Amino acid sequence: MKSHYRAVVIGGGVVGASVLYHLTKLGWTDVALIERSILTAGSSWHAAGDYHALNANPNMAILQAYTIDLLREIEAESGQAIGMHTTGGIHVASSPDRWEWLQANYRRFQAIGIEDVRLVTPEEIKAACPIIDLDGVRGGMFAEREGHVDPTGTVWAYAGAARRRGAEVIEHNRVLELNPRPDRTWDVVTDKGTINAEHVVNAAGLWAKRVGRMVGLDLPVSPLEHHYLVTEAIPEVAALGKEMPTVVDLEGYTYMRQEQKGMLVGIYETKPQHWSMDGAPWDYGIELLQENIERISDELELVYRRYPVLQTAGIRKWVNGAFTFSPDGNPLVGPVAGKPGYWLACGVMAGFLQGGGVGKTLAEWMIHGEPAEDSFALDIARYGPHASNREYIRQTTGEFYARRFVMTYPNEQLPAGRPLKTTPAYDAMTEAGCRWGNSWGLETPLYFAPAGFSEKPTLRRSNAFDLVGAECRAVREGVGLLDIAPFSRYEVTGPEAERWLDSMTAARLPKAGRAKLAPMLSETGRLKGDLTIIDWGDGTFWIEGSYYLRAWHMRWFSDHGREGVTVRDISDDVIGFSISGPRARALLERVTHQDVSNAAMPFLAAGVLDVGLVRARAARISVVGELGYEINCRALDHGTLRKTLLAAGRDLGVREYGYNALLSLRLEKSFGIWSAEFTQAYTPRMTGMDRWIAWDKGDFVGRAAALAERDGPPPAHQLVTLEIDALDADASGYEPVWRDGRRVGFVTSGGYGHTVRKSLAMALVPPDCAAVGTGLSVHIVGAERGARVIAPSPYDPEGRAMRA
């Protein structure tokens, strides 16, 4: 053990070993892994070692695909056998909805380039897995790349390959303290002495919570118990002649694979049990928890029906071990704001499936400054302070575990950890029929419905379709009122505020009393935000964006901070409402003594207004393509502002609406949104955001890369608007786009345009498919539908309504 390393990885499980390997693969060889016991002494040693292609999150599916492809590579490089059995895998559907869901996901796999997946009939399932009972089975999805590995051998292979590249692995050495130095390095205090490191990676698995608290972090992660059983030899299995594929029974909450001449059956029980929520004891290691057969009895009954041979099979061993879970089940990866050089690679509940991708993502981030792929699904910054609450963690991780194999519909709202953050108008809006969604812990209005209405979860147009349509028409024909608390707001002040903003964003800054759309780029020219900048004219600037990106953006601002600038997140202190529609000005005139005519307050103007009793900061901005105003107030004024606007607009037909209607209205204007049309994997030119770049202004973050893109060849894909011949379902995102039987792109988001009465989508397609009128097709809920490229903004293409 040396006294100094460039990076120290804490934790000798599959994730820590993968991070170590990828750091060396990308060129950092002065690195070490520190393990309190021996490699695998946590969750890794008792894992089932299965790997699957299916994941409802496309970015996670890409990460898993990378991991699977990597396994053979590390086996060859290390010389360590990993016991890889590529048997193929089948996900079985036994309900009409689940079968429809599999068909839709099969197409999503195609959209992200995973081609070795196909749908299979019950007969094909039986041929591949003769011991299965097909009662109720409607079909399945077969993935050639699925199988299982030897967990211990795989960890040794990652570590061995890293050693060959120069890394050091130090076992039997517990980390006791982590102390930051003024030079932004870390003193890692261990049983065997103190190490100084430029970077520290928390890959501590079951102990990640404890290693986080060493630096003042309370991570949103908890271990839960997980059962699987291994049978004795089964004659019917022994007689098969070849190894069966892995099988996931989605309605039975179980996974199965062959284990020698018997079976291994894992269970995601519907009554989850948390374990050691503050982190595993330091002396816990290669040991198991007592199995609880009674708790999993319902699932056992289902699996014994699905595989009748189990009814006479002996159980060779039970495994009940702990794995760590985050609230959404995805890993916690990336840098931590305010902790320079401290990195996370933990909360990876499926380490042998996702560990390779996690290691690659983090190593790229540490060495190159950003990962090659969009990493937000893994990023610790997707969580805020609310997610560290113990009860929140208990509810959300338990909900995820219990629903591991339960289909979640796009329009389904889950109850765990809710309601948490509510606005002052929440109760009154609920009384008015508001149905709520959730964004970063904040209750967000989706739509308004009559008493007794209940939306049915579905992949197709829901029974709330007509309610949303009525809200859209109210906005287009009269005036709609929208709660804009789900927007983020950052206040920028100080003598260097303007110069800092000018360097951080690619657009020319607005003049005093004006607002402007401003893309923000990373150093490599990829998108980092689609923001609105407001110059209030008093030395104060606002940056507005998406509420759920608050920690993500604040980390970015902090990383690029400078003297003379203060950036403050005021998102929970300043909220408000917007009014939009042809009668919006008439409503605003009734509640303010100030001149809000088009001459006095033109499009994109901003200033202070008295709105009834409320002193507000208002901007003439529209996210729906209508005459509109954002009215921002102090949080305690929120309820009063709502009452004032509703009362004054009653005879104007004012109507509250939610974000489901906003989706429809913004699609009719071809307005993209973050996490769909705009992500950190995309560039300005491919998304059309380059039209907002001020090429002739001074330097800004990402300028050189953006210029290179501007002056280079066309991007492989560009953003277009599609009209789709849909029936009772609309595109939502990641559906494949085809031209003459050839996959050419994918949908970024979609829905129904209630004003234009068309099913609409935005999509990324090659330039030779982007001309208006190009005939294409799109798979929606598994069915191929005709589509065509249309001109942007099918509603009011000249933007006259916004500027009225």
CATH of the domain at 748: 2.40.30.110
Q: What is the pLDDT of residues 649-707, one digit of tens each?
A: 999 999 999 999 999 999 999 999 999 999 999 999 999 999 999 999 999 999 999 99
Which residue among 666, 701, 736 closes a domain?
Answer: 701
Query: In sequence order, which residues have a C-beta less than 8 Å from that of residue 451 and are 6 or more positions away?
Result: 433
**Do 459 and 572 fall within a single domain?**
yes
CA distances from 776 to 114, 460, 524, 750, 783 (A): 21, 21, 32, 15, 14
What pTM was computed for the model?
0.96
**Do 559 and 501 fall within a single domain?**
yes
175, 10 in Cβ contact below 8 A? yes
**Do 583 and 546 fall within a single domain?**
yes
Identify the CATH number of the domain in which residue 289 sits: 3.50.50.60
Let me know if residue 108 belongs to a domain. no
**Do 642 and 754 fall within a single domain?**
no
DSSP character string of 341-387? TEEEEE--TTHHHHHHHHHHHHHHHHHHSS-SS--TTTBGGG--GGG
- Rounded to the nearest integer, the mean pLDDT of the chain is 96
Instruction: Give the pLDDT score at 446.
Output: 98
For the segment 314-339, the average pLDDT, to the nearest whole number, is 96
Which residue among 701, 731, 753 closes a domain?
Answer: 701
With residue 304 as reference, give the H or E element that holds it. Answer: helix 297-306
Question: Tokens 């050189």 — which residue?
Answer: 704
Q: Which amino acid is at 559?
A: D
**Do 747 and 657 fall within a single domain?**
no
Q: At what angle do helices 14-25 and 351-368 cross, to 10 degrees?
A: 40
Identify the CATH number of the domain in which residue 584 sits: 3.30.1360.120
Query: In sequence order, which residues have a C-beta less than 8 Å from that of residue 473 and are 6 or more positions away?
Result: 754, 755
Let me know if residue 657 belongs to a domain. yes
Question: Which band of pLDDT confidence, cut at 50, 70 and 90, is reported for residue 784?
Answer: very high
User: How far is it, in rounded angstroms, from Cα 187 to Cα 193?
Assistant: 10
DSSP 46: G
Residue 745 half-sphere exposure toward CB, CA atoms < 13 A: 28
Terminal CA-CA length for the chain: 71
Let me know if residue 206 belongs to a domain. yes
Let me know if residue 92 belongs to a domain. no
Nearest to 109 by CA among 180, 54, 47: 54
**Do 290 and 165 fall within a single domain?**
yes
341-369 burial code (b ≥16 CB/10 A, e <16): bbbbbbbbbbbbbbbbbbbbbbbbbbeee
Rg (CA), the chain: 27
What is the number of structural domains in the chain? Answer: 3
Query: In sequence order, which residues have a C-beta less than 8 Å from that of residue 643 and are 6 or more positions away?
Result: 428
Let me know if residue 749 belongs to a domain. yes
Let me know if residue 244 belongs to a domain. no
User: How far is it, in rounded angstroms, from Cα 634 to Cα 481?
Assistant: 17
User: How far is it, in rounded angstroms, from Cα 319 to Cα 52?
Assistant: 20
Range of the domain at 498: 422-701
Instruction: Give the pLDDT score at 54.
Output: 74
Instruction: Give the pLDDT score at 180.
Output: 98
For the segment 517-541, the average pLDDT, to the nearest whole number, is 97
**Do 171 and 27 fall within a single domain?**
yes
Which residue among 351, 366, 381 closes a domain?
Answer: 366
For the segment 429-441, the average pLDDT, to the nearest whole number, is 98
Let me know if residue 120 belongs to a domain. no
**Do 527 and 632 fall within a single domain?**
yes
The CA-CA-CA angle for residues 501, 505, 509, to 5°, reads 65
User: How far is it, in rounded angstroms, from Cα 439 to Cα 575?
Assistant: 14
**Do 689 and 749 fall within a single domain?**
no
Let me know if residue 376 belongs to a domain. no
**Do 614 and 722 fall within a single domain?**
no
CA distances from 241 to 238, 244, 247, 311 (A): 7, 9, 18, 22
Q: Which amino acid is at 523?
A: E
Q: What is the pLDDT of residues 200-245, one digit of tens each?
A: 999 999 999 999 999 999 999 999 999 999 999 999 999 998 999 9
628, 799 in Cβ contact below 8 A? no
**Do 428 and 564 fall within a single domain?**
yes
**Do 172 and 316 fall within a single domain?**
yes
Instruction: Give the pLDDT score at 553.
Output: 98
